[in-house]
Structure 1
Amino acid sequence: MEVVHVSNPNLVPQGVGDDSSRGSTTLFRIHPQYTLQMAGEASRTELSLGAQIERSSDTALSANRNLPSVGVLWEGRGPTSVIQLRASLAEASTRETEFADFGRVALDSTQRTGSVGATWSRELTPNTGLELAAFHTRVKYDTSTARDYQETGGSAVYRWQVSENSRYALTASTARQQQEGSVGGGVSNNRVSRTGLVLGYESELSERVTLAINVGGVRAGSLEKRTRSVGGIRLTGEGERLTYTLEWGVDVTADGTARGYTRADNIGVSLGYTLTAATSLTLGASRARALSGERSQGSLLYAQIRSELSPFWAATAGLEHRRARTGSVPFARGHSVTLGLVYTHPDF
């Protein structure tokens, strides 16, 4: 349960629109979630049900929301192989997802994502393995500024271990997206493809520090197909009181624009510090930037304190500052203050 006071929730730049478009609103949120897990000797089933219910003190700035989610996972294990079947359906705020993925300032709208998939992995030798995966995803928006689409794809991963602490993975992937409707006079039922090849490396530098690096190329587009470099690096560490994550990556992912796929880079850092046995502090910063289509970038600074009140109850408090712009428009700024109460019961 949260109470969030947000200034300039739509990230309207100074000098654009009237003062009311950059006003403040208070959001009241409740986020119930229930997870059921059933495990046997050779199989495991997990069912998750959840929702985010949000009410706004000013619906002209931020709409009331009811965002349900449901997911199911079945996993079967053999002596040297594992198969997973999964399905999910979830709704989310487009304003939040577009900002996190591409740094975009999106309209206050909702997207619904349904997905089914399967993954099969097999241990070929003690040091090598193969993984095959397939998926189908459908995304629908409740705004005409974004294009509904379906995406079907698959991947093959070959993994091999070169030492006790180091391993490689070579991933080949392909996907085809079919767009529905049109945006701004765009072509209806446009088909866009994506193929990629990525080499990954992971190493445990020490008992508590892990480094992961990947590099490769992706070819995506419909009329103008171009091969773009992708890759990333991630460093994670865990000490007695301090944990940290540093990461940077560039990838080409599906979205609701007429292009179908957008190349974007993301950089982030997070630090966690245990103040006392019951209280922890988390600090973080991130930036997302679209590198194709309409250029956009958004950055986020945040701080959160969490205190365990009892085995089941915890209190949280947080600050967040956002900064974003599209094209040559001046940067827009907004911030929020959050107070929350969390109830968690691991078993009934």
Structure 2
Amino acid sequence: MRYRRLGASDLSVSEISLGSWLTFGVGVERDAAKACVDRAFDLGINFIDTANVYGRGAAEAVLGEDLAGRPRGSYVLATKVFGQMSDTDQGLSAAQIEKQLDASLKRLRTDFVDLYQCHRYDTNTPLEETMAALTAAVKSGKVRWLGFSEWNPEQIQAAIDMAGVEHFVSSQPQYSLLWRRPEKAVIPLCAANGVSQIVWSPLAQGVLTGKYAVDAPLPTGSRGASDSMGGPMKNWLRRDVLVAVEQLKPLAAEAGCSLAQFALAWVLREPNVASAIVGASRPSQLDDNAKASGLVVDPALFAKAEAIADAIPRA
């Protein structure tokens, strides 16, 4: 496993990181979740990403239990705030940040998180209030560094320009061969300002593993076939997308790797990407994904892959 510096922080994170959206505490059985966490450490994965809203605290609670007993300095722990936790609890107000941070720390069984991220932008709260509250969280010692997820360039720039506050070191956008929107503005802006990407869905929620065949039933036990995890995948399971993914398989074979490794290596070819977040329901998936770290692929193969992906009609 190779590691990259996270933006302007002092954090060194594994190129492949373990996420928990739709899996831990939701779609993956308890013993399987623990096995995945244990295997991640065996593989050198040191970066664990979650959010308070995943299972409304369930994912954090599972991770808190699984990480208990491990030296706190042996992993980088990230969580998020913004999502709806109750009928009255949501957003990035000062009161919500203080309340939700304390609740996250309790579930995670730790005194601090290494990275605290704004899960989305809060249009109902002044940015000044949000940044002041995040700065207070850092000064309290409960948070080491700050990040955001899915902010647009204008929102990012406004935070960068703000004086007297702690600044962001990470951005968490969706980014994959099938979803390249951050390349246009977000990545250049962040790269110029000490902000790294830690990308979610680099495998398009599993479609870029190649497991979903054209005109075939969804594989038993897969995320796509799961009632609790499959809903957000519908757009990726379109026939035109699956046909394109079939066309990517020979390129991965020519590169001497699995399609998942090829897709992850494509994401990691971007210097501004510090880590690619993968989900897992069983340890063997992490075994395959981890091999993408440090994988060298002929850029000509990546160019062919981009042409295939770019030809998919937009939904």
Fold conserved between structures, TM > 0.5: no
Task: Answer 1 or 2: which has greater helix percent.
Answer: 2
- Smaller-chain TM-score bracket: 0.3 to 0.5
Could you say which structure has the larger radius of gyration? 1
With normalisation by structure 1, the TM-score equals 0.30
Q: Higher relative CO (CA 8 A, sep ≥ 6), structure 1 or 2?
A: 2
Task: Answer 1 or 2: which has greater strand percent.
Answer: 1
With normalisation by structure 2, the TM-score equals 0.32
